[in-house]
Amino acid sequence: MSSLPVSPTGGPIVSSHLSAEPSVQVRSLNYCFGRGELRKQVLYDISLDLFGGHIVIMTGPSGSGKTTLLTLIGALRSVHEGSLRVMGKELVGLGSRQLVDIRRNIGFIFQSHNLFESLTACQNVEMAVELTGQLQNKRQQAIAMLEKVGLGDRVDYKPQALSGGQKQRVAIARALVNQPRLILADEPTAALDKKSGRDVVTLLQNLAREGNCTILMVTHDNRILDVADRIINLVDGRLESDESLQHFVATHDPKTLDRRMFIL
């Protein structure tokens, strides 16, 4: 497979950062679950580059290995085969302690907000700031971030008093407050209604542009595909297609639409 982000289907990859070092560089990555008899390979020979300022959406049917790939890039599992460089650091062969250090520079957004009910919106965000050791102005930083996600007037509310969309925005503030260059999102809109989901992705899109960070998002939600700069399709652990949004729209005309894309 090519080392450059050229789509296997020939779609042009539009990027203004081609010259810059990719924030994520995956080469010939294989991954298996289990050992011995139960060993099951879930990812086959993945090669991929992700660049700053891009929103990359990863789609694919259930069990195709999307989440596994996301957790590998997120330094949540150890990689054994191939090469995986995240923000210039090779993850293959790192111990769990070093993986923790890598994770501190990545923003995670989950399907559920995973906020502590006992903490206010601000305190939840502060938990992330505390990782950097900046205890003096952690509240100011958290408030500034909450204002960016449009929750300046909900700073001292507990999650109980916030709507689903607001909670997810607090979770986004928590993921972004330390200005990570890489954000991994796992179905961030799945638990939200159409409007809140749209608000959340628009917010992510703006923040990615502004902070020049890479967003890798796994989603089944076809309503939000339009925010993507690139769409990667994973089927049975293999990279099926990697194309720009324009190309994706052209090839996925509703009449010729590959139904597999939308098996939820």
Partner 1 sequence: MHRTPLALLNLIHDRKKFLTSLAGVAFAVLLMFLFNGFKNALYDSQTQLLEKFNAEIVIINRLKENMFVPRAFARRRLYQAKAFAGVEEAFAVYTSEARWKNAATKQTLPVRVIAYNPAEPVLPTADILAHQAALKLPNTALIDTRARAEVGPRETGMITELADREIRIVGTFSLGTDFAAGNGNLLMSDQNFLRYFAFRGPEEVERSFATVDLGLLKVAPGTDVPRLVKTLSDNLPQDILVLSKDGPDGFVMRERKYWEENTNIGFVFSLLTAMGFVVGIILVYQILYTDVADHWSEYATLKAMGYDNLFLFTVVMQEAIILSVFGFIPGLLVSGLFYNLAAGTTGLVFQMTLERVVSIYIMTFVMCLVSGAIAVRKVQATDPAEVFGL
Residues that bind partner 1 in the complex, under the rule CB under 8 A: 67, 70-71, 74, 76-77, 97, 100-101, 103-104, 108, 110-112, 114-119, 123, 126-128, 130-131, 135-139, 174, 186
**Which residues make beta-bridge pairs with 230?**
56, 244
Angle made by CA atoms 44, 5, 110, in degrees to the nearest 5: 65
Nearer to partner 1, 106 or 245 (CB): 106
Q: How far is the CB of 72 from partner 1 (least distance, A)?
A: 9
Helix (H) or strand (E) holding 218: strand 214-218
- Please report, for residues 48, 58, 80, 96, 195, the alpha-carbon distance to residue 83 in angstroms, rounded to integers and kept in the order given: 10, 20, 8, 17, 39
Q: How far is the CB of 61 from partner 1 (least distance, A)?
A: 13
Q: How far is the CB of 2 from partner 1 (least distance, A)?
A: 28
Helix (H) or strand (E) holding 250: helix 245-251
Nearer to partner 1, 40 or 104 (CB): 104
Nearer to partner 1, 62 or 256 (CB): 62
Nearer to partner 1, 90 or 130 (CB): 130
Nearer to partner 1, 97 or 195 (CB): 97
Q: How far is the CB of 237 from partner 1 (least distance, A)?
A: 15
Structure tokens at 246: 């324009």
Structure tokens at 81: 């085969």
DSSP, res 39: -
Residue corresponding to tokens 């100011």: 140
- The amino acid present at 233, given as its one-letter code, is N
Q: How far is the CB of 8 from partner 1 (least distance, A)?
A: 26
Residue 76 CA to its chain's centroid (Å): 13
Burial class (CB in 10 A: 0-12, 13-18, 19+), 49: buried
Nearer to partner 1, 3 or 140 (CB): 140
Q: How far is the CB of 13 from partner 1 (least distance, A)?
A: 26
